[in-house]
C-alpha cells in the first residue's frame, strides 16, 4: 500500500517552524502513514467514521465490507437499508453513503480526475454531496490523494493533540490559522505527528 510521501527536508522545515512540534518530530522520527488510493472506498470509510471512535468505526467498517463484498457503487446500492443498518450504521449515514454511491455511478460526481485538481477544488466538489462535509473531504485529500498541506480545523483528534503539545486550554480559530500558516505547505505532515501524539498519549 502506498504511503503519504514526505522526507527529512520537510521534517526539518517543520522543526524550524515550530520548536514544540519539532521536539515531537525529533522524539518520534519518521512516522509511516499508509494511504488508500481508492477514492470511492476512502470517502465511504470517512462517512462511516464520522463522530465515532477509531475502534467503533473499525468494527462497523469490517461488518460493512463483509456484507457488500467490494467497494463499488452498485454493491452498496443493491443492498436494502436494513441490511446496512445491521452493520451498525445509522440511517442518516446509510442515506449519505447511498447518495454518494448513486452520484458516482450516474456520473453526477466525477472522482476519477481528482489528481488533476488542487486541494480546494477537490473539497468543493465533494461537499456538494449531503453528508460529506469539509472534514470528510479533507481526510480524503490527505489519506487517499496524499496531499501534503491539509490541516483540518474540524478534526477533534487534531485539536486534542495540538492543545496537548502547544499547552493551549482552548484551540481558537485564530490559533488554528496561525499554526496552519506556520506549517504550510506541509500541514499534512504536521497533522501526522499530532495524530501520533494522540495515539501514543491516549488522548
Is the pLDDT reported for residue 55 higher than 90? no
Same domain, 60 and 116: yes
Domain membership of residue 158 (yes or no) is yes
3-state helix, strand, coil split of the chain in percent (to 5) is 65, 0, 35
User: Cα separations (Å) of 137 from 16, 29, 41?
Assistant: 29, 28, 13
Same-domain pairing of 137 and 196: no
Q: What is the CATH number of the domain that holds 98?
A: 1.10.340.30
Domain end, chosen from 115, 143, 171, is at 143
**The CA-based dihedral angle spanning residues 132, 197, 144, 62, taken in that order and rounded to the nearest 10 degrees:** -70
Cell of 110: 466525477
Q: Is residue 122 part of a domain?
A: yes
Provide the number of structural domains found in the chain: 2
Task: Assess if residue 184 is contained within a domain.
Answer: yes
Residue 85 maps to a domain? yes
Q: Do 137 and 193 belong together in one domain?
A: no
- Of 128, 143, 158, the residue that ends a domain is 143
pLDDT for 73-111, tens place per residue?
999 999 999 999 999 999 999 999 999 999 999 999 999
Whether 23 and 59 map to the same domain: the answer is no
- Tens digits of residue pLDDT in 157-195: 999 999 999 999 999 999 999 999 999 999 999 999 999
On whether residue 3 sits in a domain, the answer given is no
- 194 & 118 share domain: no
Mean pLDDT value across the chain? 94
- Residue 1 counted as domain residue: no
Q: For residue 187, what pLDDT is reported?
A: 98
Contacts (Cβ under 8 Å, ≥6 apart) of 170: 163
Q: What is the pLDDT of residue 99?
A: 95
HEC-encoded secondary structure of 139-168: HHHHHCCCCCCCCCCCCHHHHHHHHHHHCC
Q: Within a 10 A sphere around the Cβ of 20, how many other Cβ atoms?
A: 10
Is 2 among the domain residues?
no
165 & 132 share domain: no
Question: Nearest to residue 147, comparing CAs of 125, 117, 172?
Answer: 117
Whether the pLDDT of residue 203 is over 80: the answer is no
Number of residues in the chain = 203
Residue 175 lies in domain: 8-33+150-201
151 and 183 in contact (C-beta within 8 Å)? yes
One domain, residues 21 and 60:
no
Per-residue model confidence (pLDDT) at position 95: 96
Same domain, 29 and 61: no
- The last residue of one of the domains, among 93, 108, 143, is 143
Interatomic CA distance for residues 89 and 63, integer angstroms: 10
Could you list the beta-strand ranges (E) of the chain: none
Provide CB contacts within 8 A for 58, sequence distance 6+. Answer: none
Same-domain pairing of 18 and 78:
no
- 137-163 tens-digit pLDDT: 999 999 999 999 999 999 989 999 999
Cα(30)–Cα(49) distance, integer angstroms: 26
Per-residue confidence (pLDDT) for residue 176, from 0 to 100: 96
Same domain, 99 and 122: yes
Residue 70 in any domain: the answer is: yes
Query: What is the percent of the chain where pLDDT is above 70?
Result: 100
CA distance 17 to 109: 38
- Contacts of residues 21-24 at CB distance under 8 Å and 24 or more positions apart, as own/partner, are 21/165, 21/183, 21/190, 21/193, 21/194, 24/165, 24/193, 24/196, 24/197
Amino acid at each position: 500500500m502506498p504511503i503519504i510521501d514526505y522526507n527529512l527536508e520537510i521534517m526539518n522545515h517543520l522543526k524550524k517552524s515550530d520548536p514544540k512540534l519539532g521536539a515531537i518530530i525529533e522524539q518520534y522520527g519518521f512516522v509511516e502513514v499508509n494511504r488508500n488510493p481508492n477514492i470511492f472506498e476512502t470517502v465511504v470509510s470517512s462517512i462511516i467514521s464520522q463522530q465515532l471512535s477509531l475502534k467503533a468505526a473499525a468494527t462497523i467498517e469490517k461488518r460493512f465490507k463483509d456484507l457488500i463484498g467490494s467497494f463499488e457503487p452498485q454493491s452498496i446500492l443493491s443492498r436494502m437499508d436494513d441490511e446496512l443498518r445491521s452493520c451498525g450504521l445509522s440511517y442518516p449515514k446509510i442515506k449519505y453513503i447511498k447518495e454518494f454511491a448513486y452520484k458516482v455511478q450516474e456520473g453526477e460526481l466525477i472522482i476519477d480526475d481528482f489528481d488533476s485538481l488542487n486541494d480546494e477544488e477537490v473539497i468543493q466538489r465533494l461537499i456538494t454531496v449531503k453528508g460529506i462535509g469539509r472534514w470528510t473531504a479533507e481526510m480524503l485529500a490527505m489519506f487517499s490523494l496524499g496531499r501534503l498541506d491539509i490541516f483540518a480545523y474540524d478534526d477533534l483528534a487534531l485539536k486534542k493533540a495540538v492543545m496537548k503539545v502547544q499547552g493551549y486550554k482552548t484551540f481558537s480559530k485564530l490559533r488554528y490559522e496561525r499554526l496552519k500558516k506556520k506549517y504550510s505547505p506541509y500541514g499534512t505532515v504536521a497533522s501526522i505527528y499530532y495524530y501520533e501524539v494522540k495515539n501514543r498519549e491516549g488522548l
